[in-house]
Structure 1
Amino acid sequence: MIHYLAIVSSPNTLSCPKLNETGHATKLWASNEEGLRNNLLYNFNCPSELKQVHALLIKTSTPLSVLPLAQVASVCAFTSSFPYAQKIFRCVNKPEVTIWNSCLRNFAESSSPFDAVLLFYQLRKYDVLPDSFTCSFVLKACVQLLDLLHGRILHCYMEKLGFQSNLFLQNMIVHLYASCGAIVDATLLFDEMHQRDVVTWNIMITQLVKMGDINAAYKLFKEMPERSVRSWTAMVAGFVQCGKPKEAIDLFMEMEKSGLHANQVTVVAVLAACADIGALDLGRSIHEYSNKSGYDRNVRICNTLIDMYIKCGCLEAALLVFEKMEERTIVSWSAMIQGLAMHGQGMEALELFSKMVQTGVKPNGVTFIGLLHACSHMGLVEKGREFFVSMSRDYGITPRIEHYGCMVDLLSRAGLLQEAHGFIKNMPMKPNGVVWGALLGGCRVHKNIELAEEAIVHLNELDPRNDGYYVVLSNIYADAKQWENVAKVRKLMRDQGVKKMPGWSSVTVEGVVHEFVAGDETHPQAQEMFASWDNLLQQLRLKGYVPNTSVVLLDMEERDKEKFLYRHSEKLALVFGLLKTPPGETIRIMKNLRVCEDCHTAFKLISQIADREIVVRDRNRFHCFKYGSCSCKDYW
């Protein structure tokens, strides 16, 4: 029999006012009693307070069913009053496990999901028979915690209870194993399942993508008997994450042919792929689809659109998306600031930062990377120093290695190589390859062989397989006519198995991406392109163009150097674009390496001769050639 506390019936607990003639005192007493009951009924936080409420309910002849049973379970779950709660549940004639399940769900979704695991052991201790919902809530807690140990124990218990045919629970177990990195166990369970649905396949594909095993994920994807939008989206996003944007776009095209429509997550993934390879036409069509589908207010989609347009060389379109946004996050502002910096509009980037601060948005570390890039591309050394100090002094942001790399790049570009070197030596963390690479790049521009040799020693330890660093050092030696050292660098590359990455450029014509490799003469329209270049060359010479053969860092005849120059991949892409696009249309070229000085000079003149805007994205920044000049103002 349950023992009750009769505290509320004590004469000292409630004062008894004197009755008046109208009986108002009686009503007041009833009102006070009811108010106290209601106050206690929903505000007990421990077993003793629960017992006070219980006693009051008995005194007022109120049924126990008015008790918030989930709260009863919560306050008694981990105390010696657990059996007391059980007796209450039996009195209200409600399945006990149902009430505990409600408590389990709350624990699993709380900031302390391990409480759900502890409560499960309490249930077993007091002989409460779990059902499928019990197991699902505890599994959810295990997934939240990535608790493989207790997940395995629960899995064994589920087998004993005969839940093998419960597909929902089996999917949760697969999800748990895969999320915890036990992909072998997840695969074994997946293979042994007598029944699977699209959720089962999606779980495996998603987790394999997260682990970076894109090939295994794609193999499963191809074997799926039925695919949902989520299946396609997981694979599209997976290809983007592992650096295969072309495959992502191809898969998206297949999805559209299958008759499925992209959801908001798909849109973000495809836009990211478009940004990576500069697929502007597809990006625009996705933007149009997004607006028609009502996604134009989705902040994440808008942010990805800004990034896509910036990386495709459409700064105006990115600004338009930014300006139309009803809600902007720090990601929106930072992306736009960095985009302006990449496109040579450094002052505009700094002005946008001031506007952002005025609106009350607090910058983060990414914002300052954009600001430092802007300063670097404009040679604003003092302003860059101010920003570097301000980020920690004014905003409490500890500079990361990326910020130090930006500062080294800023100083190195400006020719302050000794200061950049000292900056590296005083860094609070060990410099990485990007930091030393920034110094090496400055050494190339300002022809400092001594510091370049020191930088390459560190780079050989930090990133020995990166061909770019060896090529830069080789170029520095070649520029100084030190051909013997050039040969040594190339021998070192061969000995270490490092191969120089071939330069390539791409241009999109009518939605089709055309790629060109330096020196390529195998293109089906090669002769037409070469003839067009010869015609352009005559007009270039009339404008004062003289081939800059110093950028050809090979020991060969001058005439051969000129021919080598004329076959640079960006020149081939440009000539093809001029031949295949209507007059006045902007030509957008994507290049994997840094554009050379000769191409840069030629493109400025060609933009004037052909009356075209030419946008080139190289590995460092954007160059917008228009009316005979470049947005970089020749500081790059």
Structure 2
Amino acid sequence: MPPPPAATAAAAAAQHLESFLPRLTTLSHYKQFHARLLTSGRLHSDSFLRARFLDRLALSAHLPHALLLLRSLPSPATNDFNAALRGLAASPHPARSLLLLAGRLLHAPSPPPPRLDALSLSFALKASARCSHGPATLQLHALVVRLGCTPDVRLMTTLVDSYAKCGDLASARKVFDEMLVRDIASWNSLLAGLAQGTEPTLALALFHRLAGSFHELPPREAPNELTIVAALSACAQIGSLQDGLYVHEFARKIGVSGNVRVCNALIDMYSKCCSLGPALEVFHSIRREDRTLVSYNTAIQAVSMHGHGADALRLFDEMPTSIEPDEVTYIAVLGGCNHAGLVDDGLRVFHGMRVPPNVKHYGAVVDLLGRAGRLAEAYDTIKSMPFPADIVLWQTLLGASKKHGDVELAELAATKLAELGSNVDGDYVLLSNVYASKARWADVDRVRDTMRSNDVQKVPGFSYTEIGGVMHKFINGDRDHPRWQEIYKALEGIVSRIGELGYEPETDNVLHDIGEEEKQNALCYHSEKLAIAFGLIATPPGETLRVIKNLRICGDCHVVAKLISKAYSRVIVIRDRARFHRFEDGHCSCRDYW
């Protein structure tokens, strides 16, 4: 039996109104549509159309109007409430989504608030993830259980993601392990959380488990490009080139190696695993029309960190006009100028920025000028900023003052750091080093006494090197490695061999008021030297040695690495906290500017 004419007309009118939704762009458009809903009576009678309108309005730049509309409804439906939750969760202030939810639960007006459903909880969990609000995620988890939503795979995956992004990896793993049904999104959420958090090694173990059972997995759990991106992120974080090569090959196997997101992750992985050549090969393999802003940012960052400032500028200049540089682009280019000593080029880039500079951009300029010894200009840059300098900026100036031996400016920076409440070991060590370089031992003792009274512990230096797919960790003066006796014996031979090339320990780098022989012994067993010595005895002649260090490489280790590269005909790549150093035939890619 056909519907009555009135019903048909009403449906046609609703469909006609709905067709306007994609064309709403300005606030004026939204207000006109809102008025039409009011005058036609559909604002209250057509909950589906109203919810669709609210959803678009909440996700637009006119979120406040959406919230006003929601408050005006005497009995909002669940879909209305969810539209507001979704908009707030995606807004610059996601915490307001949690406040809206809490307000509805704790201070419910009459009539009762709309019933929560899986979508409500999903949007709230996304908000707590963006806020990194662990307690909110825990409370939302309780609601998930209370409302009986645990069988919902997508909701549980969002819960895993939220715990992971809040840094609670143990809870993320527990939720994942308790899921009765999983899909690849569940795996990817846990993988990404582990990879970008504190357990990248566990992320790789999980990936190998997934890849190893690839052919036995149901289609819904088959790895995809997001799986590869997460695994590559883990490889980049720990610097495991062998794992990275395996992941790259697996990406080829499942046919996603040409995906631009995978390519971007490959560029980052190869670069951070001390392999700039393959990183650039991947970048150039992407068709120009397929490259994204992330592609250029990652490539520029790669060449910058490896000390190729001119290449960073060239890539920046080659960016197509259709891709607008963002804040990350400028940080990457300025970093390249920093590491290559291209002061004038860096200042040109800074003054030509097409986005408002933030504190990180000013910090890059302070670093650029400070490294070049233009300390007065660096200080003037800090004073000229439109916002207060943060701790990192004053630490940058303190580091530059230490490098160039400016005691007065170092003391000023240290005072500013104390005023801002900074109490990290690096502040004290840098100031102590400035005094020690001038043999002002009484001041050195005063700084160390302050460190002790403030219970500040110096971060120990350690280094990693990957040999045969196994990561080996060394700390300064390490005797825990199974082959430590061979390593120490190898070091004695190294010192003797490079001594023939004119090596003399740079004991100025051991800034303690102790005897010269003690200083030489302290220098000899730095973690990067131990890692290099192990690499020499554990790999065949000619193989490139790659070392990752948590702190900046010291001047003496830098000299030793250059001489080892010449004496043993080895390429040595060291990734320290600030950049990469490639040593070959007695020279370093940084040209001794670091």
TM-score, normalised with respect to structure 2: 0.83
2:43/2:50 contact within 8 Å kept: no
Matches of 1:376 and 1:437, distance apart in 2: 16
Report the equivalent of 2:154. Answer: 199
Task: After TM superposition, list the pairs within 5 Å mapping 1:523-602 onto structure 2.
Answer: 523-602=481-560
Matches of 1:555 and 1:247, distance apart in 2: 43
Q: Deviations over 1:589-623 (max 9, x none)?
A: 00011111111111111111221111000111110
The higher radius of gyration belongs to 1
State the one-letter code of the partner of 2:438: A
Cα drift, residue 628 of structure 1: 1.2
State the one-letter code of the partner of 1:171: A
Corresponding position: 1:339 with 2:297: no
State the one-letter code of the partner of 1:485: D
State the one-letter code of the partner of 2:55: A
1:214/1:238 contact within 8 Å kept: yes
Gaps in structure 2 of 5+ consecutive residues: 21-32, 90-96, 129-135, 215-220
State the one-letter code of the partner of 2:363: G
- Stretch of structure 1 that moved more, 297-306 or 473-482: 297-306
Q: Could you say if the C-alpha distance between residues 475 and 121 of structure 1 is closer, same or farther in structure 2, counting changes exceeding 3 Å?
A: closer
Q: Could you say if the C-alpha distance between residues 258 and 231 of structure 1 is closer, same or farther in structure 2, counting changes exceeding 3 Å?
A: farther
Matches of 1:72 and 1:621, distance apart in 2: 58
Q: Deviations over 1:528-557 (max 9, x none)?
A: 111111122221111111111121112222
2:70/2:80 contact within 8 Å kept: no
SS at match of 1:78: helix
Report the equivalent of 1:353. Answer: 316
Matches of 1:150 and 1:241, distance apart in 2: 30
Cα drift, residue 483 of structure 1: 1.6
1:104/1:116 contact within 8 Å kept: no
1:264/1:295 contact within 8 Å kept: yes
Matches of 1:194 and 1:423, distance apart in 2: 58
Matches of 2:442 and 2:508, distance apart in 1: 17
Gaps in structure 1 of 5+ consecutive residues: 1-56, 87-98, 126-133
State the one-letter code of the partner of 2:459: M
Q: Deviations over 1:153-195 (max 9, x none)?
A: 99899xx99x99xxxx742243244345454542332232446
Task: After TM superposition, list the pairs within 5 Å mapping 1:14-413 onto structure 2.
Answer: 64=9, 67=12, 69-71=14-16, 78-82=37-41, 100-101=47-48, 104-105=51-52, 107-109=54-56, 111=60, 135-136=78-79, 139-146=82-89, 147=97, 170-179=117-126, 181=128, 182-183=136-137, 185-194=139-148, 196-197=150-151, 198-256=153-211, 261-326=222-287, 327-356=290-319, 361-391=323-353, 395=354, 397-413=355-371
SS at match of 1:536: helix
State the one-letter code of the partner of 1:329: T
Report the equivalent of 1:5. Answer: none
Q: Could you say if the C-alpha distance between residues 84 and 208 of structure 1 is closer, same or farther in structure 2, counting changes exceeding 3 Å?
A: closer
Matches of 1:490 and 1:250, distance apart in 2: 42
Matches of 2:479 and 2:103, distance apart in 1: 65
Q: Could you say if the C-alpha distance between residues 72 and 440 of structure 1 is closer, same or farther in structure 2, counting changes exceeding 3 Å?
A: closer
Cα drift, residue 85 of structure 1: 11
Report the equivalent of 1:92. Answer: none
Q: Deviations over 1:211-243 (max 9, x none)?
A: 343343333334334443222322222234434
Q: Which of 470, 488, 495 is equivalent to 1:512?
A: 470
Q: Could you say if the C-alpha distance between residues 366 and 189 of structure 1 is closer, same or farther in structure 2, counting changes exceeding 3 Å?
A: closer
1:239/1:248 contact within 8 Å kept: yes
Matches of 1:401 and 1:116, distance apart in 2: 33
SS at match of 2:388: coil
Cα drift, residue 116 of structure 1: 11
Task: After TM superposition, list the pairs within 5 Å mapping 1:593-632 onto structure 2.
Answer: 593-632=551-590
Matches of 2:390 and 2:42, distance apart in 1: 61
1:101/1:137 contact within 8 Å kept: no
Q: How many residues align?
A: 546
State the one-letter code of the partner of 1:104: A
Q: Could you say if the C-alpha distance between residues 344 and 124 of structure 1 is closer, same or farther in structure 2, counting changes exceeding 3 Å?
A: closer
1:479/1:553 contact within 8 Å kept: yes
Matches of 2:99 and 2:556, distance apart in 1: 63
Report the equivalent of 2:28. Answer: none
Corresponding position: 1:475 with 2:433: yes
Cα drift, residue 625 of structure 1: 0.3
Q: Could you say if the C-alpha distance between residues 474 and 121 of structure 1 is closer, same or farther in structure 2, counting changes exceeding 3 Å?
A: closer
Matches of 1:382 and 1:119, distance apart in 2: 54
Cα drift, residue 106 of structure 1: 5.6
Cα drift, residue 558 of structure 1: 1.8
Matches of 2:127 and 2:592, distance apart in 1: 52
Q: Deviations over 1:92-148 (max 9, x none)?
A: xxxxxxx753663465345478769959987969xxxxxxxx745753453333556
Cα drift, residue 80 of structure 1: 4.2
Q: Deviations over 1:334-366 (max 9, x none)?
A: 222222122121222222222226x65432222
Q: Could you say if the C-alpha distance between residues 68 and 339 of structure 1 is closer, same or farther in structure 2, counting changes exceeding 3 Å?
A: same
Corresponding position: 1:499 with 2:457: yes
